[in-house]
Amino acid sequence: MPEVICNTSPIQYLHQTDLLQVLEELYGQITIPEGVVTELDAGRAMGIDLPVVTSLSWVNVKRVRGAKLLGIVSSLGPGEKEVLALGLETPGALVILDDLQARRYSSYLGLKFTGTLGVLLKAKQRGRLSVIAPILDRLEALQFRLDPETRKATLQLAKEMS
């Protein structure tokens, strides 16, 4: 199985929908860069419900070796930059991120990627979830950016809508 490198928002939203364990169930181990740990710690300090990922045995924290990419991609946050950098350092890795700009960079860099919705779809396909429509409702209530067309496409892929 390829190394899986995860950004902050999938961890945040899966945690806030009580589905963080799906990452472990689907991928076994995940890797996060130090920047993601920092973002999660900062969010918790502001009172946001976020996990302490360093206490999870299935999460590995990794330092980015080559920081050249970090200065070039100025429109992204530190976690996203580090996820992309680790993705480049790890041949065959899967990166999990939601930000549209970060996903565009992933595509440009030739990285394999998915996001929170892709994780949910995979969990349903593998029988870990029975339905995802109520989870999408909860994500929207949490301010997850989900336009109507993406919601519709996700539900069609999940076979919850014709």
In a domain, 14, yes or no: yes
Q: Which domain holds residue 48?
A: 4-129
Please report whether residue 141 resides in a domain.
no
**Domain for residue 77, yes or no?**
yes
8 Å CB contact between 35 and 65:
no
CA 43 – CA 48 distance, rounded (Å):
5
- Is 142 domain-assigned? no
The verdict on residue 79 lying in a domain is yes
pLDDT for 19-69, tens place per residue? Answer: 999 999 999 999 999 999 999 999 999 999 999 999 999 999 999 887 665
Tens of pLDDT, residue by residue over 136-148, are: 999 999 999 999 9
Residue 143 lies in a domain: no
Instruction: Tell me the whole-structure pTM to 2 decimals.
Output: 0.93
Residue 53 lies in a domain: yes
| Residue carrying the six token digits 């995979």 | 122
Q: Is the pLDDT of residue 76 over 90?
A: no
- List Cβ neighbours of 156 (8 Å cut-off, separation of 6 or more): 162
Stated as kind and residue range, the H or E segment containing 21 is helix 21-27
67/78: higher pLDDT: 78
CATH number reported for the structural domain that contains residue 118 in this entry: 3.40.50.1010
Domain membership of residue 69 (yes or no) is: yes
**Residue 61: beta bridge partners?**
32
Structural domain total, the chain: 1
Helix segments in 28-158, DSSP class H: 34-45, 68-72, 78-89, 100-108, 116-125, 133-141, 148-157
